[in-house]
Amino acid sequence: MEVSKGCATLLTSEPEALLTFYRDTLGLQVRLEGPRFSELSSAGGFRVAIMRQDAASAPPTGAALGFAVADWAGARETLRRSGLLDREEEDPTSGVRLL
């Protein structure tokens, strides 16, 4: 599995507050903004995503790492075989696939 880029994702029940902080205080540029998922980046290429995490589905805060891969199906199968994949979903707003 070859990883081409990555992103730190912050899970929160208050995504609007985090978006405001990273955009207005740290000066990151908004690349994608939606009701459940937003992504920002710095001029140097650091990327951070903010994802709404409802308390009913999981703890309301936390972090996750995201990676871009050329072979999605192969990467997913590698993670399944290793025992690391326990759920999979797609955000209907952004189309982002989550493992």
Report d(CA 30, CA 6) in Å as an integer. Answer: 16
Report d(CA 41, CA 78) in Å as an integer. Answer: 28
pLDDT band for position 9 (cuts 50, 70, 90):
confident
Nearest to 76 by CA among 61, 56, 97, 47: 97
Q: What is the pTM of this model?
A: 0.60
| Confidence at residue 40, expressed as pLDDT on a 0 to 100 scale | 93
